Amino acid sequence: MASSGGVARTLCSLYYRFTVCRQCQRQVPNLSKTNRFVVSTRLYSEHRSTHFGFETVSEDEKTEKVYKVFENVAQKYDVMNDAMSLGIHRLWKDALLQLMSPTPGTLLLDVAGGTGDISFRFLDYIRSRQDREARRDTLSRQSASWQEITEAYQPGQSDRQGGVQAVVCDINKEMLKVGRQRAAHRGYHTGLSWVVGNAEELPFDNDKFDFYTIAFGIRNVTHIDQALQEAHRVLKPGGRILCLEFSRVSNPLLSRVYDAYSFQLIPVLGEVIAGDWKSYQYLVESIRRFPDQEEFKAMIEDAGFFKVQFHNLTGGVVAIHSGFKL
């Protein structure tokens, strides 16, 4: 008796003439060009393998698994960041903003930034800079009346933001939900926009943003090279990419301590705080699979960026890579 799969193939052959996909060498229906591309791309993605931590999975499976990880950890994500890094992640993100040094009127795209950490810092930095400029302007008006001084200097005035300044883009709706809740709780009512989007296929026009940031997110992307090309596409000429990510520790002693802490304590913290051992085991493994500083620098250059450099923080536990689109 023929198997159900064999029957299905026989029935299909009555309606379609098959062709061979050039990418994955599997037979696909000879449909229109558009439909054939969709089918072959899906089969190609299913066929190709990649890594999910130390596990080998198909590309489609990795996308689903990564989505599930961050869906699971969204509510405890920031608490776990504090626990895993002993709060040092806040200093790393502050260092990113200091390196960026944005000016009022610039537009930021924060990719994989669902909880809003980088965007909140960006807005705070812009407001602080505006306030300093207002103070200097006030001091320069030696003969100004009190009414003129009051009108000129109003710290934190929201309409000086000139509309949306930071766009948070994340593929995970749960992470964005947490980010919006945090924004409302902290009083960020203007200057922010939240968009569901994939780093590998950003839903934005070319040459749109002054800065592109991605903090602790690039290692979870299936095709890192494609995400970097998208970053290059959406940045304006002169725009800058800044990527904060875990990297390679150069000191052997620190490296051994770091490995022991990562593999033995972080999954335990994940279980105790978030009730999720497996997700945090994956996050640790994904760090070890990510390219080192020099290799990632070369990947950014291959995407078309210039003046690419990196800054190690905490002995190389993390690194900030940056580059410019000319």
Ligand-binding annotation for 170, yes or no, is yes
Ligand-binding annotation for 81, yes or no, is no
Ligand-binding annotation for 199, yes or no, is yes
DSSP-based three-state secondary structure for 52? strand
For residues 17 and 271, what is the distance between their CA atoms, to the nearest angstrom? 52
Residues 6+ apart with CB under 8 A from 14: none
DSSP 204-245: S-SS-EEEEEEES-GGG-S-HHHHHHHHHHHEEEEEEEEEEE
Alpha-carbon distances, residue 298 vs 2, 184, 220, 294, 309 (angstroms) = 53, 39, 18, 6, 10
Ligand-binding annotation for 115, yes or no, is yes
Residue whose pair of structure tokens reads 């279980």 in the numeric block? 271
For residues 233 and 253, what is the distance between their CA atoms, to the nearest angstrom? 41
Contact call for residues 110 and 213 (beta carbons, < 8 A): yes
For residues 298 and 133, what is the distance between their CA atoms, to the nearest angstrom? 38
Please calculate the CA angle 224-228-92 and round it to the nearest 5 degrees: 85
For residues 183 and 115, what is the distance between their CA atoms, to the nearest angstrom? 9
- Binding-site residue numbers for S-adenosyl-L-methionine are 115, 170, 198-199
Task: Output the known binding site.
Answer: 115, 170, 198-199
